Structures are given as structure tokens and as C-alpha cells.
Amino acid sequence: MKILFCSPEAAPYAKTGGLADVSGALPGALRELGADCRVVMPLYQSVKKAFTGLKHVTDISFLSGQGVSQGRVYADGPVHFIENDAYFNRDGIYAYANRDFPDNLERFAFFSRACVELAITLGDVDVIHCNDWQTGLIPAYLHALEAKGIKSCYTIHNLAYQGIFDAVLWPLLFLPYDFFRPDLMEFFGNINIMKAGIVFADQVTTVSPSYASEIQTPDFGAGLDGLLRAVSFKLSGIANGIDTVVWDPATDPLIPHSFDKDRLDGKARCKLELQKRFSLEQKPGSPLFGLIGRLVDQKGIDLVIKIMEDLLSRDAQVVVLGTGEKWHEENLRRLAERHPTSLAAFIGFDEALAHVIEAGSDFFLMPSRFEPCGLNQMISMRYGTIPIVTGVGGLRDTVTCLGEGDTPQGVRVKLPAPVQLLHAVDEACALYREDPAAFCRLQKNAMEKNVDWTQSALQYYDMYSKMLNSRERER
């Protein structure tokens, strides 16, 4: 079984969020099951600079909206990179200085068409697995080129980012004009690239079973719920896992002290180091809440900001790491200036610091309004950091909270609202201060929770097998 896993980002090469973690780990788990799974991503400038030993594999060229488009293909083991300097040899992946590149449609149309060309060149690809809007055109190109031997699976990692562009850009896509209609790629007068992926792919998946149901409702469907209900026969949810080698507190080289579920003293020392690093007061009995992620409303950052003064008044501490909406960044900076010994806000993207915060925190705040899967709650559990989570999407599927089962690992925020979040914070503080034995049990449950890729990779493998069986029947 030969799979091309196409993604705009993959760890450790290029990362802006969870998609990179998935693309960095799932293909390896599929290879362990026996699939020949190769990753394809653009050759960004940052990759060129940091990975100098890439091997040239082949060249591709095809007709496009620009005439003839060309690319060189390089590889680092099973990871393939498409080079086109005009599109990718620049500072930034999707944006520079917080502004999306104006030619993103053209860049990722090129990348998508190049992935199809690479699959045709390689000759024996069974399935192209596409991820998010940046690769949504792949199933459309397969359809237009009548490449029937190659099946496609399209995974929605976040329905909030659909890749919507002005209809005047249509000629850039080099697709038949009759694809621009309401049942295919047209969306309220614009081009919707995610819609192309959903319509034309043989299978559509999303990254948790709960999110797969939620996105078929108007509240979570972002305008595509009708289409998603219509394609429910080919839509399923498979929860993500995390890379348990990269995220392992027993061996993690990025944290100051190693620990595991039977040696939690290392975690206590990580907390002291974290407090020292940000000049927070080292008070025994003060719970420390961590938060890492995109500072956007989806993640409930506005709720955290609203309750911050109340939370700190409980003699608790908070460390935030993230980038996102300017007003959230500013509010956090201002709050941190006002509370220098109890709140630290690091505005930026810092992989190593993310490990240090996960290791040193007692709790992790994740009051998302919607959450396709979410990785941070699983990373937190692995580090014995108790996630405080709403009951949406992947958070509902991956964390059992206090009062919900025999082996709880988290604390539930009943609704994404300030009062409910503060209520959950109070529950967490009480647990931490008044019932250390119960808190310890939660930590152990969390650290024992299976969060690796094995189960999910099996489900993807099964799905690919079914797709290949149906191809056999069509032949």
C-alpha cells in the first residue's frame, strides 16, 4: 500500500500548529503497520537553510494557470519536498508579519498540482492523503485529470480555515469552469478550496469522532454543515495521537529534570525552574496554570483574560506562551506587567519553551469554544499536567474529567463562559490544596492514558484498505 501524505507543514521541518505534529508522526506510525507512506511538503526557505543534506529525486512540470509550472523534488528519507523558489523561498510559511501572503491561492494550487504530478511520476501511488485547505485542490485535480487509479482521502483539521478566495482568481487554478458551481467549489460567490476537498475526495475524515458529528450542525459547520451532512456516507472522525517519543518526560532533553509517573519529584523541580525562569514567586501551595497555543477566540483566550485577575487573586500562578490576535497579546502583556510575580506571558512561538511549560505546570488551561482534536491536552496528560477543558470535539473524546468515570484525568469547564471557567479553576485549586492524594491520582491517570498513534494509525490503515478494495471492485 503506497500512500502520499501531502501537507503544507510537518514537524520537525516546518510548524505553525497541530497539523505539523500530525504530519510528523502519523506517517511513521503507518509505516510501522507496513504502509509505504511518504510525506510531501513545500520546500520552504527555513527548511532549505536548516536541512542542507536533501537529495534531489526528480523534476516535475505541468500546464497551469501560469503556462508551464516547474518544480524540483528533494527528499530526506521518506519526506519529499517540492521546490519552487518563487513560491516558497521567502520568510514565512503562510504569512509574513501577521499578514497572509497575497498569492497563497497560487502557491498552494501549485503545490497541490505538483503533488498529483509527483504521484503520477512515482507511478504506483494508491492513495493521496490531503490535509487542510492548502491541499484541498488535490482531489479536484485528480478528478479533472481522470486519474482514477489514485484514491484520495481529505482530512479537515480545522473547519474555520477553508481557503476562501475571490472568484476572479479562478483562472489560476487551471480547472474546468464548470467546477465553479454551488454543489462543487462555489461558496457565496467565492472559491472555497476546502469544499473542493470535501466534494471530490473518496473519503473525508476529521480529527475526532465528536468533531465529525459537530461539524454537521449549523453551530459548528461554518457554513458547510449542509454539505457535510450530504457527504456523511464518506465522513468519519479519527482522533489524533501525539508523538510519544518527542513528548516523553522521562527522556525529554528540553526539560530541566526528567520524571515519570513513579518519580514525580522531577516534575516539582521543573516547576521551580519554570518559576525561576519567569521570576515568579516560589510559594509552596500555589497551583501553576500553563497555557500554550494560538491566542484566538477559538481557544477561549478571551475567557482566560476575563478571569485572569480573579484567578490570580486565588494565589495561583499562570504562564502563557502563544501568538495570535494583537488585542489578546496586548491584554496579556498588560496583565503580566501588573502581576510580575504571578503571571508570565511570553508572546512568540518557542518549541523548547512549550516543553518546559508542559513539564513545570500543575494544570493546563484549554477552554476552547470548538476543538477539532487538540494536541495540548494530550501532551499535558503525558506530562502529568491536568487539563482543564471544555466538552467539545477532541477535548470531549480524549479527556475523562472528574465525576465522569473511574479514572479521571482532567477538570471540565461546563460551558465556554467566564463564570464556568472560574468555577473549574476553583475546583482545580481546591483539589490541589485540599486533596493532594486525589490530585496525585489524577496525575497518574493522566500519565497512564494511552495517547500514542497506534490505535488511530490502525483506523487510517483500515480506511485505506477499504478504499483499495472499492478500487478493485470498480476495475
Closest-by-Cβ residue to ligand ADP is 18
Cα gap 75→57, rounded to integer Å: 7
CB of 120 to ligand ADP, least distance (A): 31
User: Do residues 20 and 36 make contact, with C-beta atoms less than 8 angstroms apart?
Assistant: no
Cα gap 384→378, rounded to integer Å: 10
User: Do residues 241 and 452 make contact, with C-beta atoms less than 8 angstroms apart?
Assistant: yes
- The answer to whether 325 contacts ligand ADP (rule: CB under 6 A) is no
Cell of 96: 509574513
Q: Which stretch binds ligand ADP (CB under 6 A): 102-110, 224-232, 319-327, 427-435?
A: 319-327
Nearer to ligand ADP, 60 or 395 (CB): 395
- The answer to whether 292 contacts ligand ADP (rule: CB under 6 A) is yes
Site for ligand ADP in 76-115 (CB under 6 A): none
- For 381, half-sphere exposure in the C-beta direction (CA atoms, 13 angstrom radius) is 30
Cell of 341: 510575580
Cα gap 184→90, rounded to integer Å: 33
Choosing from 376, 400, 409, 445, the residue that interacts with ligand ADP (CB under 6 A) is 376
Listing DSSP states for 260-284 in one string gives BTTBTHHHHHHHHHHHHHTT----T
Site for ligand ADP in 18-57 (CB under 6 A): 18, 21
Nearer to ligand ADP, 296 or 402 (CB): 296
What three-state secondary structure class fits 236? strand
CB of 374 to ligand ADP, least distance (A): 4
Cell of 227: 454539505
Q: Which residues pair with 366 in a beta bridge?
A: 389
What three-state secondary structure class fits 413? strand
User: Do residues 109 and 58 make contact, with C-beta atoms less than 8 angstroms apart?
Assistant: no
Local structure of residue 369 (DSSP, 8 states): S
Q: Which stretch binds ligand ADP (CB under 6 A): 123-131, 195-203, 263-271, 286-294?
A: 286-294
Q: Which stretch binds ligand ADP (CB under 6 A): 26-34, 106-114, 290-298, 461-469?
A: 290-298
Nearer to ligand ADP, 335 or 354 (CB): 354
CB of 241 to ligand ADP, least distance (A): 12
CB of 377 to ligand ADP, least distance (A): 7
User: Do residues 81 and 43 make contact, with C-beta atoms less than 8 angstroms apart?
Assistant: yes
Choosing from 294, 306, 444, 471, the residue that interacts with ligand ADP (CB under 6 A) is 294
Q: Which stretch binds ligand ADP (CB under 6 A): 43-51, 180-188, 345-353, 380-388?
A: 345-353
Contacting positions for ligand ADP (CB under 6 A) = 17-18, 21, 292-294, 321-323, 349-351, 354, 374-376
